[in-house]
């Protein structure tokens, strides 16, 4: 029997690579993979619906779903980070602690993205700084942003400015035109963002007056984990609705394949730790001591507290107007997983 050919777009990581590279197959499916940076992937899928299966921002999925997009999710979460620990501050800003962000200018790649949603949620719930107390700056242009594809507008009470097209979060922070900004990949100035891909600051930026808001990111991440009980996820995978209706068995088979790919990556983890990380094996063991034997759990049962919290944050921050049940968001065959 011929396999169903389905297009698939995703970024790479060790848990997904076995699917992209064909080491793990989806039963009954021939995947046609495209590898793309998430910023490009989400814009393409939200704007044009080009792919049958796509990596997707959780917050953008919630917004798109509420606005009628014909998508269905599977509970596979390929990336997790403590997003709020990626804030860097200028030394002249007077910011010594998260509470000092009140009244400050803070830059994020995109207001709508899940990383920014988690950041604002942590600031509000853990440090008492509501989203309305900050002046926000957004780097991505309307044309090429997730929000441009979903019709996003700033929620009531939010002051939001666009970063000028000839600048980046990095340049504005270094020059103290921002007090704080998300800098997940310092000195990799938007190399993968399609509308500013050719722009790199010249000469190299002077970071001597910029420092992380949390000097010990590990300690802050562990504090968050112990308080909330999870490492925040920011992406999941979605199927186009017409594909799901035509082949309802694909969702469960795809879920199983993602699990198999993750298991394969786990078996190879110690072998693949770069030799330059002298204590890499010990760090991997410590990671498991902190976050359990599987730091990247899939399924709804293992992620229900995290999913409920991200939905609450999206509602609280006025990105969505109604609270969806988790059963409305995920394929039926994955609800008991």
Can you give the pLDDT of all 337 residues of the chain as single tens digits?
A: 689 999 999 999 999 999 999 999 999 999 999 999 998 999 999 999 999 999 999 999 999 999 999 999 999 999 999 999 999 999 999 999 999 999 999 999 999 999 999 999 999 999 999 999 999 999 998 888 889 899 999 999 999 999 998 899 999 999 999 999 998 655 444 444 445 544 555 578 889 999 999 999 999 999 999 999 999 999 999 999 999 999 999 999 999 999 999 999 999 988 889 999 999 999 999 999 999 999 999 999 999 999 999 999 999 999 999 999 999 999 999 999 8
Rounded (5°) CA angle 231-233-239 = 150
Give yes or no: residues 62 and 166 share one domain: no
Give yes or no: residues 185 and 131 share one domain: yes
331 and 251 Cβ atoms separated by less than 8 Å? yes
Give yes or no: residues 75 and 92 share one domain: no
How many C-beta atoms surround the C-beta of residue 242 within 10 A? 11
Model confidence, pTM: 0.94
Give yes or no: residues 223 and 299 share one domain: no
Give yes or no: residues 191 and 321 share one domain: no
Give yes or no: residues 68 and 95 share one domain: no
Domain of residue 158, residue span: 83-228
User: Which among 148, 142, 140, 139 has a CA at the least distance from the CA of 48?
Assistant: 148
Please write the tens of the pLDDT for every residue from 98-123: 999 999 999 999 999 999 999 999 99
Q: Identify the domain boundary among 203, 228, 253.
A: 228
Give yes or no: residues 144 and 254 share one domain: no
Tokens 């019709």 label which residue? 151
pLDDT at 300: 97
Q: What whole-number distance in Å separates Cα of residue 304 and Cα of residue 79?
A: 16
Question: What's the number of domains the chain is made of?
Answer: 2
How many C-beta atoms surround the C-beta of residue 152 within 10 A? 21
Give yes or no: residues 19 and 66 share one domain: yes
3-state secondary structure of 80: strand
Q: What whole-number distance in Å separates Cα of residue 103 and Cα of residue 134?
A: 5
pLDDT at 190: 44
Q: What whole-number distance in Å separates Cα of residue 141 and Cα of residue 43?
A: 11
Handedness of CA 284, 285, 286, 291 (dihedral sign): positive
Give yes or no: residues 96 and 175 share one domain: yes
Q: Which helix (H) or strand (E) holds 136?
A: strand 135-138
Give yes or no: residues 207 and 262 share one domain: no
Q: Identify the domain boundary among 228, 258, 292.
A: 228
Residues 6+ apart with CB under 8 A from 281: 270, 273
Token pair of 336 as six digits:
């008991």
* CATH code of the domain covering residue 314: 3.40.190.10
Give yes or no: residues 17 and 70 share one domain: yes
75 and 255 Cβ atoms separated by less than 8 Å? yes
User: Which among 153, 58, 72, 75 has a CA at the least distance from the CA of 114?
Assistant: 58
Q: How far is CA 114 from CA 74, 80, 230, 283, 306, in A?
A: 17, 11, 15, 27, 12
User: Which among 149, 188, 186, 141 has a CA at the least distance from the CA of 64?
Assistant: 149
Give yes or no: residues 107 and 205 share one domain: yes
* CATH code of the domain covering residue 214: 3.40.190
Q: Identify the domain boundary among 198, 213, 228.
A: 228
């Amino acid at each position: 029997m011929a396999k169903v050919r389905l297009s698939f777009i995703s970024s790479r990581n060790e848990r997904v690579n076995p699917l992209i590279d064909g080491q793990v197959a989806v039963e009954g499916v021939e995947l046609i993979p495209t590898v793309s940076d998430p910023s490009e992937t989400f814009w393409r899928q939200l704007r044009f619906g080009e792919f049958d299966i796509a990596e997707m921002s959780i917050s953008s999925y919630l917004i798109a779903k509420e606005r009628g997009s014909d998508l269905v999710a599977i509970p596979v979460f390929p990336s997790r980070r403590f997003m709020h620990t990626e804030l860097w501050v200028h030394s002249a800003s007077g910011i010594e602690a998260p509470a000092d962000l009140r009244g400050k200018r803070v830059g994020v790649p995109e207001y709508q993205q899940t990383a920014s949603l988690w950041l604002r949620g942590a600031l509000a719930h853990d440090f008492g700084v509501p989203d309305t107390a900050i002046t926000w700056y957004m780097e991505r242009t309307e044309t090429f942003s997730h929000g441009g594809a979903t019709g996003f507008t700033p929620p009531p009470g939010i002051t939001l400015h666009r970063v000028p097209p000839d600048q980046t979060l990095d340049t504005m922070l270094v020059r103290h035109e921002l007090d704080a900004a998300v800098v997940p990949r310092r000195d990799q100035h938007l190399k993968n963002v399609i509308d500013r891909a050719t722009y790199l600051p010249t000469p190299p930026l002077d970071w001597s007056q910029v420092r992380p808001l949390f000097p010990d990111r590990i300690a802050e991440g562990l504090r968050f984990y112990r308080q909330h009980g999870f490492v925040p996820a920011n992406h999941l995978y979605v199927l186009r609705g017409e594909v799901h209706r035509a082949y309802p068995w694909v969702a469960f088979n795809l879920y199983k394949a993602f699990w198999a790919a993750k298991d394969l990556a786990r078996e190879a983890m110690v072998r693949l730790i770069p030799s330059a990380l002298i204590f890499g094996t010990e760090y991997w063991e410590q990671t498991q001591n902190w976050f359990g034997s599987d730091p990247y759990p899939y399924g709804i049962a293992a992620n229900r507290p995290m999913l409920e919290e991200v939905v609450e944050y999206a509602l609280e921050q006025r990105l969505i107007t109604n609270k969806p049940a988790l059963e409305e968001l995920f394929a039926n065959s994955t609800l008991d997983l």
